[in-house]
């Protein structure tokens, strides 16, 4: 009971932490992706503080900004849905770690005004940012430690669809925002902002420093421009040298239109711009110029050049140089556009995502429906019931073939209620395969090499085993562990090779007498599982059958009691659940091995967590083996 409670609390904590991390990353990725230029300027500020001077229009910082937003957003999606859990949480951990170090540096040395974690959407002080990152680091460390407890909302098989869709979505959004303007504007100069009111306000605010000067820098033009009750276009050119001059004709037409219709039109350049003559020659710009602060100009419109329309000191509308307005009459200027497209943005992300998840669940549901019927009609669970024979080093080829023929005959006439497998010495495999009906008896080897192929005299590879027609292989048997010194590492290699060659692995684990007597059996078995199987993916693990064989019971006539077997099997299943999740634990068959006989099989197999047996001595005789198989009837 207590264990269950701890389990629920830890599940809740991990999933709450993972959700929180997901939201933070989704938000920070999204706000960066919708304003990549803003983030690019911020990166440039960082570089400048480190003595590296690039233009604010640098392609490299922009590419980095887009990459950063996309990366964070994808981490957010993966955390939210439980995609590639180990990789996701490792990347998240490393990312938060680097950010924590960076924000510690910013907190101490104060190189930039704002860290840019959440773009312009949420501005935090350096101290707040640092504390936020410390908290995130603690959470991500905990979640990383328990990453297998993260629930998935999509099956492993279909998760790539969500990752790819999210990537395409956020990448396109980011490119669109860089090419036109941010789809959502979190700057101080969003449309409908009353700049005049902000400048004149008594209270402190971020627009207070807004200032426009005459071209020669002598006169303050702020008040005149902001008080004009008719329309004023400002063509903002924060950096003349790097500004895009592909749209000059459109701008000049626009200026002509403004002159004809008595609409004000100014170019605004930064104070640092020394000479306009060259640029005017190149672009044919005939309009008058004002000056402003470069940072402020870049905040007003994320485009170089960009266009802003003011009236009464209120920012009416803005355009990037890639979609300048075509004006036919003054009234067209007044036509206002767009509601906030947030709902549309969300729609195009969330709805396809939900559809994919729904389809995935229907796909998964097929399995559940099947499971339900199997449970309902057979009154049994989905796990395969298996009785496997392990012939060990017994029987010559002729005797082995004869035994297989007899068993085949008996089982064909009397269909077993479980899967039956015989594992034979290597030299028997191909011959036995020809004698048995593969629908009735499965065939397996007792071992395979830990190398794929090559100069390993006397060894037999997993591929060779598979080529005989065998579908199974026993690995980790205690006799191989103790007499042939097979370590967890060797068994890990063997298992990987066997699985890679399409074999199902009957993996044996179990403690020796001393370990049982000193109460260490759980510890030993857990270490055996961890040492050889915990690197497998869930898909790989689906082809593992476990066999608990207490070494003190093998071939000794001493059987573990049914209760001892059940206790250990339940523990093994729990261990699997903790690592591979509930579905894997529920599906894995766990066999009992060690002096299993017709006389004790029924009782042992009746236990909830015992799914069959791995039979040594009693598998060498059809009658005994059949007696054990019949324990499932």
Nearest approach in angstroms of CB 355 to ligand PGA is 49
616: contact with ligand PGA by CB under 6 A: yes
**Which span (82-90, 355-363, 429-437, 611-619) binds ligand PGA, by CB under 6 A?**
611-619
**Which span (136-144, 244-252, 289-297, 614-622) binds ligand PGA, by CB under 6 A?**
614-622
What is the spatial distance between Cα 424 and Cα 628, in angstroms, rounded to a whole number?
A: 18
Of 57, 593, 604, 612, the one binding ligand PGA (CB under 6 A) is 593
How big is the site for ligand PGA, counted in residues (CB under 6 A)?
A: 13
554: contact with ligand PGA by CB under 6 A: yes
387: contact with ligand PGA by CB under 6 A: no
Helix ranges (DSSP H) in 239-306: 248-260, 277-283, 294-300
Q: Which two tokens stand for residue 93?
A: 């951990």
617: contact with ligand PGA by CB under 6 A: yes
Question: Does the CA dihedral 450-451-456-462 come out positive or negative?
Answer: positive
Of 81, 544, 591, 614, the one binding ligand PGA (CB under 6 A) is 614
Query: Has 477 been annotated as catalytic?
Result: yes
Q: Any residues with CB less than 8 A from the CB of 631 and at least 6 apart, and which? A: 387, 598, 601, 602, 605
Of 37, 491, 596, 622, the one binding ligand PGA (CB under 6 A) is 596
Question: Does the CA dihedral 99-101-106-112 come out positive or negative?
Answer: negative
Contact between 490 and 449 (Cβ < 8 Å): no
Nearer to ligand PGA, 209 or 555 (CB): 555
423: contact with ligand PGA by CB under 6 A: no
Nearest approach in angstroms of CB 597 to ligand PGA is 8
Of 39, 66, 604, 615, the one binding ligand PGA (CB under 6 A) is 615
CA-nearest of 579, 503, 491 to 531 is: 491
Nearest approach in angstroms of CB 485 to ligand PGA is 18
Residue 561, judged by CB atoms within 10 A of its CB (0-12, 13-18, 19+), counts as exposed
Nearest approach in angstroms of CB 96 to ligand PGA is 48
Phi, psi of 503 (to 5 degrees): -90, 150
Contact between 169 and 184 (Cβ < 8 Å): no
Of 435, 515, 549, 566, the one binding ligand PGA (CB under 6 A) is 549
595: contact with ligand PGA by CB under 6 A: yes
Of 341, 365, 502, 555, the one binding ligand PGA (CB under 6 A) is 555
CB neighbours of residue 126 within 10 Å: 20
Nearest approach in angstroms of CB 439 to ligand PGA is 24
DSSP letter string, 149-190: GSPPSS-GGGHHHHHHHHHHHHHHHHHHHHHS--SS--STT-
**Which span (16-24, 229-237, 548-556, 561-569) binds ligand PGA, by CB under 6 A?**
548-556
Query: Is residue 626 within a helix (H) or strand (E), and if so which, with residue range?
Result: helix 622-629
Active site amino acids: 477, 549
Q: Which spans of this chain sit near ligand PGA (rule: CB under 6 A)?
A: 390, 549, 554-555, 593-596, 614-618
């Amino acid at each position: 009971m207590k264990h269950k409670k701890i389990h629920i609390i830890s599940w809740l904590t991990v999933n709450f932490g993972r959700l929180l991390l997901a939201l933070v990353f989704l938000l920070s990725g999204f706000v960066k992706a919708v304003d990549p230029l803003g983030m690019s300027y911020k990166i440039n500020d960082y570089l400048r503080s480190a003595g590296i001077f690039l233009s604010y229009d640098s392609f490299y910082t922009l590419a980095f900004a887009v990459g950063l937003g996309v990366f964070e957003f994808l981490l957010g999606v993966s955390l939210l849905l439980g995609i590639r859990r180990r990789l996701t949480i490792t990347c998240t951990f490393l990312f938060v770690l680097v950010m924590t170090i960076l924000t510690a540096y910013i907190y101490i040395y104060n190189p930039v005004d704002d860290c840019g974690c959440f773009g312009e959407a949420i501005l935090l002080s350096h101290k707040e940012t640092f504390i936020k990152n410390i908290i995130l680091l603690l959470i991500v460390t905990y979640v990383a430690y328990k990453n297998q407890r993260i629930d998935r909302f999509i099956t492993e098989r279909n998760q790539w669809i969500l990752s790819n869709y999210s990537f395409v979505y956020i990448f396109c959004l980011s490119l669109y925002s860089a090419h036109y303007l941010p789809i959502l504007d979190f700057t101080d100069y969003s449309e409908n902002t009353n700049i005049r009111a902000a400048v004149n306000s008594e209270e402190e605010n971020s627009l207070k420093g807004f200032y426009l000067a005459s071209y020669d820098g002598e006169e303050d033009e702020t008040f005149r421009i902001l008080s004009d009750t008719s329309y004023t276009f400002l063509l903002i050119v924060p950096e003349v040298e790097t500004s895009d001059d592909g749209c000059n004709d459109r701008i000049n037409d626009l200026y002509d239109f403004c002159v004809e219709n008595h609409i004000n039109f100014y170019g605004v350049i930064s104070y640092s711009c020394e000479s306009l003559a060259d640029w005017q020659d190149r672009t044919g710009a005939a309009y008058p110029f004002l000056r402003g602060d470069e940072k402020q100009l870049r905040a007003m419109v994320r485009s170089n050049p960009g266009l802003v329309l003011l009236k009464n000191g209120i920012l009416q509308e803005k355009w990037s140089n890639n979609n300048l307005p075509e004006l036919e009459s003054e009234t067209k200027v007044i036509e206002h556009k767009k509601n906030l497209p947030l709902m549309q943005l969300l729609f195009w992300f969330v709805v396809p995502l939900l559809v994919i998840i729904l389809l995935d669940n229907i796909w998964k549901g097929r399995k559940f429906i099947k499971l339900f019927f199997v449970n309902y009609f057979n009154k049994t669970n989905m796990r395969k019931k298996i009785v496997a024979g392990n012939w060990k080093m017994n029987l010559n080829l002729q005797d082995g073939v004869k035994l297989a023929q007899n068993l085949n005959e008996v089982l064909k006439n009397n269909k077993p209620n479980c899967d039956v497998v015989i594992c034979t010495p290597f030299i028997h495999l191909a011959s036995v395969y020809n004698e048995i009906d593969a629908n009735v008896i499965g065939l397996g080897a007792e071992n395979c090499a830990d190398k794929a192929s090559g100069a390993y005299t006397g060894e037999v590879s997993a591929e060779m085993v598979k080529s005989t027609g065998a579908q199974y292989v026993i690995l980790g048997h205690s006799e191989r562990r103790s007499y042939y010194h097979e370590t967890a590492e060797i068994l890990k290699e063997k298992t990987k090779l066997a699985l890679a060659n399409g074999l199902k692995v009957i993996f044996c684990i179990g403690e020796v007498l001393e370990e049982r007597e000193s109460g260490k059996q759980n510890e030993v078995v857990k270490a055996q599982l961890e040492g050889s199987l915990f690197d497998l993916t869930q898909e790989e693990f689906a082809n593992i059958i476990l066999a608990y064989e207490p070494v003190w019971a093998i071939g000794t006539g001493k059987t573990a009691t049914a209760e001892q077997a059940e206790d250990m099997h339940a523990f093994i299943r729990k261990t699997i659940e903790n690592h591979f999740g509930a579905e894997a634990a529920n599906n894995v068959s766990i066999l009992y091995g060690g002096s299993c006989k017709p006389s004790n099989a029924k009782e042992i197999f009746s236990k909830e967590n015992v799914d069959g047996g791995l039979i040594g001595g009693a598998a060498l005789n059809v009658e005994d083996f059949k007696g054990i198989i019949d324990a499932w009837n």
